[in-house]
Every structure is written in structure tokens, then in C-alpha cells.
Amino acid sequence: MGIGATAGVAAVGGIALNAQASSDRSSGQAASASDALVFDPDAYTRLTTSVTGTDGSTHSVTYHFWKALTYVADPVDEKYQSLNVSVPVEIDGTAVDASDAPILFANSVGGYMPSSVADATGIGGGGMGGGMPGGGAPSGAPSASASAPGANGNTNATGGALSTNQLLALAAGYVVVEPGARGRTLENSAGEYYGTAPAAIVDLKAAVRYVRFNKGRIPGDTDRIVSAGTSAGGALSALLGASGDSPLYEKYLSELGAADASDAIFATGAWCPITDLEHADGAYEWNWGANAAQSTGKVVDQTVSKELRAQFAEYQAALRLRGLNGFGPLTARNYDAYLLEQYLQPSATRYLAALSDSDRAAYLAKNTFITWKNGRASFAWDDYLTHVGARKKTTPAFDAFDLSAGENNEFGAGTTESRHFTAYSAENDTTGLSTRRIAADIPEKLRLMNPMYHLVEKVNGRRSKHWWIRLGASDTDTSHVVSANLAAAAAGLGDKVNHLYYWDKGHGANDDPGDFIAWIAKVTGHKARK
């Protein structure tokens, strides 16, 4: 994430940034506690940056930047419960009016860790944490899909992808809001964890309410908010879209003094979402159970893997989802065929078609499992799994028997750092817990954290109706069925879904950021800047 608005040039994720701190105007002061939720239109800094688009063109963008605005009246931790706002006012020397532009609401959460904008020096700046640019396949512990920590403890391995989206949005004339949020590792002096579930989604909802509450003061169309996030941030983006205005969150928002406004958003962008956590272990084993683990080079315990696959089959049947493009009911028995037909073979086809004849021939010679005929790629599921290779995580991947996964920490409470959130892992706990049952509050927290609850079990009419979902075809941080189920659930409700996989790419890939920016203009009806 760390594209810092400091002197010099940085190139991350295909975006070159030359941020001149041309702060020739800085007016207004931070709002006092009494009017903390009223946005001050004059309290900005004027900045100029260079943005290199996906076509290689370079654009000079001057924008107004509001830094670290606290978005709730009674914050638990202002360092994380604040947001930045960036509004373009001049692009390539031409004045821009962003008063009716879409608002890109881009979170930088990774691994369900805390995310702060307090130290940011401009759009996509230092306070948003660090990590690899989009397209990478980050290494790291199998906990919450996090890689090495970046600034402010944020471990988002895909910040470059998010910064790419944010900068391109700014250059397209959109308003960009970057919210911080509490995360699972935050601990107070009493040893209590105050950023575990559902803190992150509650904070993001409060930030949306702040933006909508300030309609007419914050530039941009507050009815056209488009969220974006990657990995755990992608999960939260999807949850934000699915759960708009759900009463389940009201008591948590009231405790924070959130603004009296809607928290529904218009459209959702989610890259490799780590979500549906209570069913993620089974989905992961269904997908990657036969692949050796990276950490050991050996196949995981097949008894555990088989039991989890059986759980997935039962869950998938209960969902009663139908595949896109008339595929029919999605079951554990036919999901491999569906993934091949709907996502994987089209992904390989797009990749190979874009290569030169010589490069394509070389790739096919190296990857003989692919049949290339009449401009289309085809292959078998088992050969595809062999092509991907070792799986990122051991088993169970998310609710570890020894409570070592980041997701165990996400469901911690009080002074208890980590807890089980599935009955299966609680029953098979290896840490010596006195009771092998999940805690009484876990079912509610799972509902609060799972977008599928709002799309399948209790359908939310205030959900986002437009979905942009992306995943790397070689991403073993999660199961392919997680994002595919999310897409199928939304499409089954009549929502517009744009979902595809990036061939040979890992966790956090963002191969088509320009298309995402164009998609925002299309679904919001915004007239793109010429």
C-alpha cells in the first residue's frame, strides 16, 4: 500500500507517483469534539501528484486532501477510527468538478489486522501500511493470509493493488475515501483485545455513515459509494456491500456514536476475499486437499481433510446456489466442472490469447496439460491442481486446532487472544481447553462477519446490487469456491456480477485496475472524464 506522497518518484503496481507536497493552502482546523461528525470543507491541504495510467500515459492531478478525520463521536481508538478524503480539482491543467463524482471507498485492511491513516501524507500514503503490489504471490504465515508487517502493524500483502485503484480513480475524477479500522491484534493496558470481530466491519460502516451524513459537505455523490478491498479487506468490502443498513450492527454503531445516516453502499469491489470463515476450512480442503503443504512438502492429514470435505458438501447443498450462465445447481460433485467452465479455462484462454505466437508456443510446450484448440484452452481439474502446486495452508486452514491461525485471533474476546469458531475445531482442540464447545457469542459474531448470511440466509434488500470480484487462479490462501459462491449468491438475487480469475496469479493480484475504474463509471452512470 505504501505509495507515499513525498518528494521523489515511486513506482508501485504500475503506478508512478511524484507527490509534490505543494501545500500552498491549508485552511481550517480539526473539528472540536462537539461537532466531530461535521466535515469541514475548508480544512484541506492542496497536493499535486503524477499518475501513470494503464496505457502508459502520465497525468498531473491536483487534489484537496483531508487527513485523519475521526468518523465517530465516541471513538475507541482515533488512530484507527479515522479516514482520509481526496478530491481532484485539476487534471492535466483543467479544472475538475467532483461534486457529483462516484466515491471510491478503499480500505487497506490485511489479515484482519488494524489499518490506520493517521500517518498518511497523501492518497495511498504511508499510513495505509505496506506490502507487495498487485500481482504478487506473497509469502507468510498461514494466518489470516497476512505477510510481513508494514507500517502501523498493517499486514496487507496487496496494498499496491489498492493504491493502484485509488490513484487511477483520482485521475479519473473520482473522490477517494480511505478509511482506517480497528483490527484483531489491538490490545489495551488491561490486556483486552478491542479490535476483534466485529470491530472492523462496524468501523467501516461507521465511516460510510460519516460520508453519507456529510452529503453536500464532502464532495462526491454519496449515493454512489463503491467499496474496494483485498484479502481480509476484500472480505470486509463484500460484507459492507451485502449488509447495508442491517439492524444487526445498530447497537455496535450506537456505542461508537456513529452518524445518523445509512451505511449502504452502491457497488462492491472485492479481490480474493477471505470470507465465509465458518465454512472456509471445508471449502479449502475440497479445493486443495490433495495438494502438499508448502511448509512440509507433504500431503496434510487426509482423515481431517476428508471430514472437512464432507462438511463442505453438506453446506454447499444447503446453499441451493445455481451457477452463472445457466450452469445449474452447484454441488460438491460438480463444482470442479463449474470452476473449469466458468473461470479457469476462460482465464487461461485470455492469458494465452494475449501472448505472441512464439510466447504462446513456449508456454504450451512447458505446460503440456493444456490443450489449445481453436483459440481456446482446456484441461482437466487434477492437472490444474498439479500445475498450481503446493497449498499455502495446513489443515484446518482457518480454525486451527492449536488456535494458531489469525482467524482464531479475529474471534478472540476480552483478554482471550484466540478462540475457536467452528464446532469441529473446538472438538478437536489441541491446546487443552476445559470445554470443547464454541463460546455462546460466536454464532452472532459469525453472522456479523459473513456476507453469505445477508445474501442467502436472511436476504438484505439494502445490499449492493453491483459486484466486482477477482481472484488469482493460483491463489491457495483461500478456496476458489468462496468467491464463486459469493458471486453465485449475488447473481441469484438478480445483482450484476463481474467476476473472473487471473491466470497463474497468486493472492492479491489486480491485473485489470483500469477496467475496474471504467466499471465504476458504467455502473454508477458517471460520465467519464475525456
Q: What is the CATH number of the domain that holds 432?
A: 3.40.50.1820
Rounded Cα distance between 267 and 524, Å, is 8
Rounded Cα distance between 377 and 349, Å, is 5
How far does Cα 407 stand from its chain's mean position? 15
In a domain, 75, yes or no: no
Q: List b or e across 178-187, with b for residues whose CB sees 16 or more CB atoms inside 10 angstroms.
A: bbbbbbbbbe
In a domain, 279, yes or no: yes
Q: At a CB cut-off of 8 Å and minimum separation 6, what does 155 contact? A: 110, 111, 113, 129, 131, 140, 144, 146, 147, 148, 149
pLDDT at residue 142 in the model: 33
pLDDT at residue 35 in the model: 72
The answer to whether residues 508 and 140 touch, using CB atoms and an 8 Å cutoff, is: no
3-state DSSP of 449-517? HCHHHHHHHCCCCCCCCEEEEEEECCCCCCCHHHHHHHHHHHHHCCCEEEEEEECCCCCCCCCCHHHHH
Look at the chain and report how many structural domains it folds into: 1
CA atoms within 13 A of residue 56's CA, in its CB half-sphere: 0
Residue at grid coordinates 460520465:
527
Rounded Cα distance between 479 and 469, Å, is 14
Residue at grid coordinates 497463474:
504
The answer to whether residues 394 and 293 touch, using CB atoms and an 8 Å cutoff, is: yes
Q: At a CB cut-off of 8 Å and minimum separation 6, what does 238 contact? A: 268, 270, 273, 275, 451, 467, 469, 486
In a domain, 180, yes or no: yes
pLDDT at residue 120 in the model: 83
pLDDT at residue 158 in the model: 32
Give the residue from 59, 32, 33, 30 showing the smallest Cα distance to 45: 30
The boundaries of the domain holding residue 143 are 97-289+301-333+391-530
pLDDT at residue 133 in the model: 28
Low-confidence ranges of the chain (pLDDT < 50): 1-34, 126-162, 530
In a domain, 450, yes or no: yes
The answer to whether residues 398 and 268 touch, using CB atoms and an 8 Å cutoff, is: no
In a domain, 194, yes or no: yes
In a domain, 89, yes or no: no
In a domain, 183, yes or no: yes
Q: How much is the pTM?
A: 0.89
In a domain, 519, yes or no: yes
**Beta strand pairing status for 322-323 and 175-179?**
unpaired
pLDDT at residue 22 in the model: 34
Task: Pinpoint the alpha helices (H) of 57-198.
Answer: 159-171
pLDDT at residue 140 in the model: 29
Q: Which amino acid is at 335?
A: Y
pLDDT at residue 529 in the model: 56
